[in-house]
Amino acid sequence: MPHDREFPDDFLWGTAMSGFQVEMGRGPIDPNSDWFKWVHHPKNIRSGIVSGDLPEDGPGFWELYHEDLLRAKRELNNNAIRLSVEWSRIFPNPTFDVPARVVRDNRGDIERVDLSRSSMDYLEEKASKESVKRYREILEKAHELGLKVLLTIYHWPLPLWIHDPLKLKNGMIHAERRGWLDDSTIVEFAKFSAYIARTFGDLVDIYATINEPIVIAFNGYFNPDSGFPPRLKDLNLMLRVLKNLAIAHGVAYEQVKRWDNVSVSRYGPAAVGIVVCPQIIEPYDKNAYSDVEAAQIYEYTWNEWFLNAIIQGDYDMNLDMVIDPEEKRPTLVKGCDYIGINYYRRVRIRGMEDRGGLHPMFRAKTAPCEGDCTDSGWEIYPEGMRMVLNWAYQKYRRKIIVTENGIADASGEKRPSYLLSHLEEVHKAIKEDGIPVKGYFHWSLIDNYEWARGFKMRFGLYRVDYQTKRRIPTKAVKLYSKICERNALISPTSI
């Protein structure tokens, strides 16, 4: 194998999954999350806000994890796996009564959360023993197979005792469980993160605090067409959620560092990062000022805002792309050991007519995909992978892990070329640009429950028959297996 096609010796090769999307289908149902309630609501289903597909009909990873992890190791030749834990499974009941010392800065924002050992013991009492036992079994199996574990602490669903999206949608003032709109959720997330670190630290190689915070904020509070709870459209609420998520990352970072002191890999105890999803964002018409302006604010909001907050302490709360003195918040910066990049597509933006002096974000509209498109209507643009890896490293100077990259492709015909073309761009970023990319996780190992869109979008390297739960390899399996085995790019004809 030519050396110029190889990846670094310690490169991580894996796939990524999230709990809510794959766990149910076999074994106990978890009805205690906001997403579970949201997708079951008859009005949401009748109006087409959600698909009508139900997560309890899913792949059944909760019971079938053993065979799926074996596939990842033996059939795909992976050396790593990215998984998540479900907050509502581990704590189906509130943890509000667990004592915590909350330190606020002179503006009233949460700067630190301290938990005593007695509080940690109380969390242990409140946790679901059955759920903790199963998560340990999953993680133990991964380690037994030699799969390094990248664990996402929070991959979107919130416990219902923190967030009731239906009540919030019907009236924010009277809703008591408002999720990320309230900074009390930051405190509860600190407790959850601390518990995860103390309970699973001996089995976790790398942590991600939060998956794609901009998607949580943007889709839930600014883009009602996405079908995400609570389906509001208010720019100020979106920014409030982003701010609380940024602070939550910081307190979670500190909790993991505090409570996981066990070194299980070369990364040392508790390597902790964030997972973001930068896109290539361009004006639809580069000669139209309205499109250029709209693309600029959209790119800033989607790609930069959150990382600017957690790494630089820049909290641009009026979204004017200028950091005023009062928006510099250095005491809220806690740490970020690496940046996880989820890359999928290029987006082109149109600037709509200004009707009444609205913020430019209200005038930014994504144009439909016109090129080579996935089943989800996303443009396939592999060159963008190299571009976002360069952008993230050059701007923020952190190690990079590609934590997601994949395609909705029910036919399975496009996936091999998609996989290889994107990995070629990762390779260029490493070898030609000197970007410290440490791993690649394909989304996903198996088909999953794609949120409001249900089971129609098939991202799996293995197709799932949802009736029998059978896993059927797609054409990309052999290709990815050979790449991982050789730790190098290969030609599809060499398989």
Active site residues: 212, 404
Handedness of CA 444, 339, 277, 39 (dihedral sign): positive
CB atoms under 10 Å from CB of 43, counted, come to: 10
Residues in contact with 287: Cβ distance below 8 Å, sequence separation at least 6, in sequence order: none
∠ at Cα 383 (382, 386), nearest 5°? 105
Query: What type of residue sits at position 278?
Result: P
Tokens at 479, concatenated: 């290709």
Residues in contact with 257: Cβ distance below 8 Å, sequence separation at least 6, in sequence order: 269, 270, 272, 335
Residues in contact with 448: Cβ distance below 8 Å, sequence separation at least 6, in sequence order: 17, 18, 21, 22, 58, 59, 459, 460, 464
CB atoms under 10 Å from CB of 377, counted, come to: 12
**Structure-token match 């430019």, residue found:** 360
Is 38 within 8 Å of 165 (Cβ atoms)? yes
- Report how far residue 8's alpha carbon sits from residue 362's, in angstroms, rounded to the nearest whole number: 44
* Residue 331 buriedness (CB in 10 A; 0-12 / 13-18 / 19+): middle
CA 174 vs CA 34, 59, 163, 166, 402: distances in Å: 17, 37, 13, 12, 41
Tokens at 3, concatenated: 């050396």
- Report how far residue 434's alpha carbon sits from residue 452's, in angstroms, rounded to the nearest whole number: 39
